[in-house]
Structure formats: structure tokens, C-alpha cells
Structure 1
Amino acid sequence: MAYTSPAVVIDNGSYTTKAGFASEDLPSLVFNTNYSVDNNSGAVVVGDDAINAAPENEVMTLLDNGIIYNFDNIVHNWNYVYDNIDNQNPIDAKEFPLVLTEQSWNTSKNRLTTTQIAFETLEVPIFSLVKTPIAQLYRAGRSTGLVIDIGGAVTSVTPILDGIIQHKSSFHSKFAGDFLNLHVLNYLESKTAIENLLPPQYHGPASSESFKNYFISHTVLQDYKSLALSYQLRDYQLPNGSHISVADSRNYLENLFQPTVNKLPNITIPEPAIDKPHTHGLTNLIFLCLKSLEATLLPTTNDSSSHNKLAKFTEIFKDLLSNILITGGTSTASGLPESIINDIRAMTQQYYSNYPFSYATYPIRHSTGDSSEIWDRQFGAWLGACNLASMLNDSNAESNSVKIALDNWFVTKADYEELGEDLIVDKFK
């Protein structure tokens, strides 16, 4: 039996939270994932305008390394969604299925805590945790592919074969959008005083240091970086009315590929190590992913059965490298997808020249620059999760969509209360 109410879909990113009904084409809410705490009442403040209206409050984060760590306050983020999702009108969480996204390296303990909040605090009737790269690839209409996600806090490389994430070959690092922000800030500080990056109303001790850092990072650095990375070479106007030239700033994208090249004051960047994928830049992260897959899938013997395994391995790699999805907010930077694809082409020609797929590297989403592609990159995980959630509303009597969704993606409140943690561990592993 199909569900009549559309699911609420929430994608908590380190930078922004995207939320809306699964029936919508784009998220109706896109707001800052950070929150602040009222100095007087201790109340949690959520939403861009509300945070900016009280600069004296301390600003806090909810995610670290791409996953939720602050479970005491994440529920305020979700409640904000329920209070505003319907054109700023509240809805009752008990009446709508809920879908959340999660990174593939999320822990079982976190999944259990998340599910507990969903069923016991929000009291949703049905719930799902969808892995971000699966949702992104599903949105692109593929079950096999290499998902390269360059977000605000994390860059990840995830190989997916027939809808299954290859966890041992999936790697991520913190060389992402926030890392580029550090280089932008270093450049701006060489040109002007840090106070000039703030509007006058936020100057002085009345504004907390955490708010100042938050505002600079999420407003000034984002704006400047967007301008610099779009290669629109013009001046950037600071809040005080003065200008800084964008034309003489360095190519910040190179820091994604070679994190140790440009030094940052008072910050030590670890030297890359083979056994520590998180220390590598983007191209090497992709290379380590492919080498790990090769070690896992390539036969080690030379008997007759190994020839079939070699043929299967070759086909898998061809399929994987023919379906590369480059996504994430930072991936919208001009020229970045092309640089990644060119590096992969060079890599496969150098290291995999014996296989007949050296030239088979093409992205699923070509860089046309149109608005639909930009939305897919920024909201791909949310849109893919919506596609999966919409299976619950399939009223076609001949379709098995609802059953498939319940069997593979969703847990009902009744099943959770009956089967508990074992069900969650098995369903969301």
C-alpha cells in the first residue's frame, strides 16, 4: 500500500542543510547548519537571519568530518525543518516519513542514535538513512560509478559497484572547500585588517569571536572564493566599501590537488603517506582508490580460473571509469571537473595502459554550466534521496516500488519497536 504523505528529506551538510518534501523539484529550505546559543536563556538559535541578528551569541557546529557529532542539538536543526518546511508553516513529524542522508564512513553507533531520535523524539512513522554517494549516483541514473564529492568540509572518492559501496576502497580527506577558505583568508589578511572583513555592526567586543569567525567564513570567504573560482577577474568589495583585486590572487584550486604546496601560517599540513589516504590531495586520493580496487579485485594467480577473473576485473574497471560523477558544492568551481577528468585520463594511460579502457574516462554530468547541472551538484544527495523516498508514494498497483523501498531502504516505527537495534544495524549497514 502506497503512502499518501510525501517524505521529508533532510541532507545535513557541514556548510548548509538542504530540506524539503520528496515531491518537490528543489529543496524548499537551504540554511546554515551551524547554530548559536542565546546568552540569556540558553535557547538554541537556528537559521541564518536569527544567527546574524544575535552576534553576541556563541556559534556552534553540528558536524565534524562530514558526520553528526553533536546529537544533543541536531534535533533543533530537524525541528527547524518541521517548523518551516511548508512555506514557513509547521507540520507534524508524526504524519510524514523521514529520510536523512549520511556519509559512508558514518559509524554504527551514530546510526543507532540518529534512528533513536527519529523514532523516539520526533516520532516519525517511517524512517530511512541513505548514504550520500548512493543517493548522488542514483540521481544520475546509475548503479555503478566512481563518485567524487567535493564539499565544504570533506572531499571523498567512493567506488560503487551494482549499488554497493566498496568501503575498503573509499577514501576521504579534509582538503575541500573549507581548506580553500583558509588560503583565501590568508590572502585577504595580507591585503587588509581582519576587522575590515566584518560589517561595522559586528566590530568590537559585543560580537563573540565564534560569531566573527562564522560570519567571515560563511559570508565573506564564500563570496570571495566564488568570485575568484569563477575566474571573473574583478574587484571584491569589502563591507567597509574598500576593494580588493581578485585578479592578483592565486589559483586556489591547486590546493585541492597539492595541499602541501602553499604553506599556511600556524597550520601544519601533514606530508602525504601511502598508508594514510587522508593526507593526500584529490588526484592521489583517486589513484589510491583505484589501486585499492585493483588489489581487491585483480586475481593473484595465473591459473585458468584467473583469466575469467581478469576479464571480470577489466569489465568492472571499464564500467567504473566510464561512469564518473563529480559532485558537491565546491565542484561547481570553473574548470575543476575538467581538471579532474584530465588527471584521471593521464593516470589511467600511465598506470593501466595494459587494459582496454585507458580512454574510457567520461563524467556522467558534462560541464555545460547550465542551471540544472549546478543544482545537481549542489543538491545531488538531496535530489537522489527524494527519488528513493518517492517510491513510497507509487500508487501503481502493478509496481513493486513500495515493497522494494520497505525491504531495502526504510524501517517502520512498529518494526523498530519490535526488533530494535539489530534491525537498524542490518538495514542501514
Structure 2
Amino acid sequence: MTSPAVVIDNGSYTTKAGFATDDLPNLVFSSNYMIDKNGKVIIGDDEMLNNPNLEVMTLLDNGLVYNFDRIVDNWSYVYDNIDNNNGIDSKEYPLVITEQTWNTNKNKTKLCQIAFENFEVPIFSLIKNPLSQLYGCGKSTGLVIDIGASVTSVTPILDGIIQNKSSYHSKYAGDFLNLHILNYLQSKTDNLGVSGSDSFKQWNLSHGLLSDYKNLSLSYQVKNYQLLNHSHINVSDQRNHLEHLFDPISFKIPNISIPEPTLDKPESHGLTNLIYFSLTNLQQSLYATNSDSNGAPSQNRFARFIELFKTLLNNVLITGGTSSAQGLPDHIINDLRALTQKFFPDYPFSYAVHQIRPTNSDNSDIWDRQFGSWLGACNLANMLNDESGNKIALDNWFISKADYEELGEDLVLEKFK
């Protein structure tokens, strides 16, 4: 029997890690890091909080790893602590890493190289976030709307195939909400109770005060909020901060330039328009696919289009840490129904819009949103230990160290395309 895979989900906000056989990740820590005056890399929330005067640095940009030297330190931290703060030998466990759909070939190759050459793992896989999340819900067709810390993405998936040309993402996500909330709180007080280097203050606010404030104010409409210095401010006149995700330019932030949205730059738009771009582009793609040899639409194009869209819209998965805000999923579903009524009036789509919901408790819903990528990747990783699924997993999602050494980069790009 193969050892359980180690699954690592490197998000811009936190890194989630654990064994694929675990119900939840047993390590959840900041993806940021510090370097002290002796060159030691500091990782982990408690350790970083003890060094407020050091600079806080990042691993990812636009949802993609760019700092490969430090991703080695991040993964090493996982291997040193994953077993109840005990270390394990990376050579003995398969490794699964999650990735965004827009990950580059250069990144894929580098991550694979680190896995096999630095950590000498026996088996490795890069699993795309939306696909793993949808599979984790037992679906192969659906619309995955992922609202994380640094990136919001909309990804249609048909029969297990990501429709890349109809997938869009933007930076109007949790960190963007933080900017508005911070501006709002600073209008209420001159002292938010945070000290240290500028980058530490920004990191500490994001992981502490702003995170807590979002969880409370967006859910319960609190009137008074306690700051880190234990003082209280009245926030009863707060705006609905969630609206910034849908209409990013409605409210300006001092000293921050937000570009006007343009049709040639989908990433400049809010969430509703991202969904619109995705659906209309997918419609055009499906029409083109179902054309005859002369380029004219085939007779069954409408039936096929309606069948696929009904299935897609009946399986809307809203995920990501920021999506946990109360009211946000309902807002998205209502917008989606309005979009289908307005832009697809000839087809009865609006009634088909339904959100995939967990079948368990409310807590399950929270964990599915916070850890959806990690949990989905675990489901696929566990196929390695399933007698009937092992060959499927190895053929479709995993590369062995022996195959990597024999075939190299070509295999990586073919397997993880």
C-alpha cells in the first residue's frame, strides 16, 4: 500500500497542508515569511508575530508562485511539522500541490523539479483548483466561482474538462475588500493598535483585525468593534463592503488608483461581469464546436447548448475563504439568474441556476469554502490507494520519479497541461 499523499495548497493568504487521508488540513499557516539578520527564514504565524520589526514577504503573485527559493522553505516547514509537529521523510510520501488554471508552463516545470530534485518525492501531481473542488462535490460539470484572498476566478467545467478560453479571473477579491475596510476603519480612528514595520503592520492587520472584522461585520452587522489596542469604535453606519467585489470602482480609496473597466481587459471588471464574460464566451465556443463542415451551425446546436448550460448552471460551486461572508453566495446566485434572464431570453436557463451545497452541517459548509481546494485535491490523491483508481490516477494526474528522470520536461507539460 502506498503511503498517504502529502497535499499542500499554497494560497496567497494561507498554506493548507496535511495527509490526503485527513478530514481537514492539520497545518494552516500564513503563506508569508520573514528573514532575520542572520539569514534565517521565519515561517509560521506565532514566529512572525514575535518579530514585528522584520519585513514580511510574499510567495505568490496573482495566485501563482514566483518565489521558488522560498517555496522550498514553505514545503520544508510542512514536512517538518505535518505529523503533529513531527517531521516526516519526503522520499516516502507522494506529493500533491494545487495550482491555478492560469499557471504557466515555466511554473509547472519548476515546481515539478523542486518536488523531485529537492525533496525526492516518489510521485508528484499538480491538481487544478476548480477541477478538484468540483470533483470533490461529486460533479464533473459545473461553474466554479472561487473568491479567495488575492484572486477571484470564474471557471466553467464540462465533463471534467476546464474551458480555459471561457475562464476569467481578477484581483478584486478578499485583499481588495481589506483595502476598503481599512480605509473605513481609519476614518473612524487614528490608532488601530498595530505597530512594527510597514509590511508587518499590513500583514498583521490582514490576518488579525481585518479578518476578524469581516467575519463579524459581514455576518452579524455589529455596532461596535474592539480594536487590537482594546478600544472600541462605532461601525453601525458601515457600508455593505461586499458590493466592492461586484462594482470595484463605485467607491474610491485615497491614494489608490483603480483602473476603469474596459471590454478588452476582463480582469478590470467585477464579479458579475466576469460571470457574464464566461457564459457568453462559452456560448460562442459551443456554437463553434457544433457547426457543420461549412461553418454553419448544425441542427442540434440549440439542443446541445441548452443541455450543457442547464447542467452547468444547475451545479454552481461558490468557494474560497472570502465566499464565507454571509449573503455573498445568495448575491451571486441572484445575479446569475438575472444575467441568464437578460442575456439568454430565448432559453429557459434562470430556473436551472442552483448552488451546490454541502449535505452535512453548517460547519461543513464553512470548511468546504475555506479548504475546498485542499479537500478536493485529497479526494483525487486518495485514488492512489484505491485498487480500482490507482491506474487512473497515475495515468491522468501523477508523475513518478522514474518517469520524470526518463522523460523530463516534456512529460510534465503533457501530463499537467
Fold similarity call, TM over 0.5 = yes
**If the length of structure 2 is used for normalisation, what is the TM-score?**
0.96
SS in 2 for 1:252: coil
Matched, 1:196 2:192: yes
Report the residue type matching 1:423 in the other structure: L
Aligned residue among 87, 101, 105 for 1:108: 105
- How far has the Cα of 1:156 moved from its partner? 0.2
- Of the three residues 19, 22, 26, the one matched with 1:21 is 19
Q: Which amino acid in structure 1 is aligned with residue 404 of structure 2?
A: Y
Q: Give runs of aligned pairs for residues 285-296 of structure 1, distance below 5 A.
A: 285-296=274-285
Residue among 227, 239, 243 paired with 2:216: 227
Match of 2:47 in 1: 50
2:416 is aligned with 1:418: no
Q: Which residue of 1 aligns with 2:255?
A: 266
Aligned to 1:148: 145
Deviation at residue 366 of structure 1 after TM alignment? 6.7
- Mark the CA change 1:384 to 1:366 in structure 2 (over 3 Å): closer, same or farther: closer
Separation in 1 of the partners of 2:12 and 2:275?
22
Q: Does residue 1:135 correspond to 2:132, yes or no?
A: yes
Counterparts of 2:234 and 2:16, CA distance in 1: 33
Question: Is the CA contact 1:127–1:412 (under 8 Å) kept in the aligned structure 2?
Answer: yes
Cross-structure match for 1:347: 339
User: Does the aligned pair in 2 maintain the 1:153–1:178 contact within 8 Å?
Assistant: yes
Once the 2 structures are TM-superposed, how far is the Cα of residue 313 of structure 1 from its aligned partner?
1.4
Contact 2:145 2:319 in 1 (8 A): yes
CA distance in structure 2 between the aligned counterparts of 1:150 and 1:305, rounded to whole angstroms: 36
Deviation at 1:6, TM superposition (A): 0.3
Superposed displacement of residue 240, structure 1: 1.9
- The match for 1:298 is 287
Counterpart secondary structure, 2:349 = coil
Q: Which runs of 5+ in 2 are unaligned?
A: none
Of 399, 404, 428 in structure 1, the residue corresponding to residue 416 of structure 2 is 428
- Aligned-residue offset at 1:294: 1.1
Give 1:310 shift. 2.3
Give the C-alpha shift of residue 305 in structure 1. 6.1
Q: Work out the CA distance in 2 between the residues paired with 1:367 and 1:274.
A: 39
Contact 2:214 2:325 in 1 (8 A): no
- Deviation string for 1:289-308 (max 9, x for gaps)? 00111111125979996121
Mapped contact 1:156–1:170 kept (Cα < 8 A): yes
**Please, what TM-score do these two structures have when normalized by structure 1?**
0.94
Show the counterpart of 2:376: 384
What do residues 59-117 of structure 1 show as CA deviations (whole Å, max 9, x unaligned)?
10000001101111111111000000000000000000000000000000000000000
Superposed CA offset, 1:153-182 (max 9, x none): 000000001111100000000000000000
Measured after TM superposition, the shift of residue 239 of structure 1 is 1.9
Q: Tell me if the contact between 1:175 and 1:256 (Cα under 8 Å) persists in the aligned partners.
A: yes
After superposition, what is the alpha-carbon deviation per residue over 1:376-409, rounded to whole angstroms, capped at 9, x for unaligned? 1111110010000001112x4xx2x100000000
Aligned to 2:90: 93
User: Residue 354 of structure 2 aligns to which amino acid in structure 1?
Assistant: Y
Match of 1:76 in 2: 73
Distance 1:301 1:111, change over 3 A: closer
For residues 215 and 309 of structure 2, the distance between their equivalents in structure 1, rounded to whole angstroms, comes to 34
Which of 301, 317, 324 is the matching residue for 2:309? 317
Query: Which residue of the partner structure matches residue 281 of structure 1?
Result: 270
**Aligned residue pair count:** 414
Change (3 A) 1:59 1:41: same
Give yes or no for contact 2:358–2:364 (8 Å, CA) kept in 1.
Answer: no
| Helix, strand or coil at the partner of 2:228 | coil
For 2:192, give the aligned amino acid.
N
Unaligned segments of structure 1, at least 5 residues: none
Q: Distance in 1 between matches of 2:89 and 2:320?
A: 31
Q: 1:393 to 1:107 in 2, by over 3 A?
A: same
**Retained in 2: the 8 A contact 1:325–1:364?**
yes
**1:197 shift after superposition:** 3.1
Q: Which residue of 2 aligns with 1:32?
A: 30
Structure 1 residue 356: Cα displacement:
2.9
Question: What SS does the corresponding residue of 2:298 show, helix, strand or coil?
Answer: helix
Q: Does 1:402 align with 2:390?
A: yes
Q: Which secondary structure state, in structure 2, belongs to the residue aligned with residue 223 of structure 1? A: helix
Structure 1 counterpart of 2:227, from 238, 243, 249: 238
Moved more, 273-282 or 418-427: 273-282
User: Which position in structure 2 is the counterpart of 1:358?
Assistant: 350
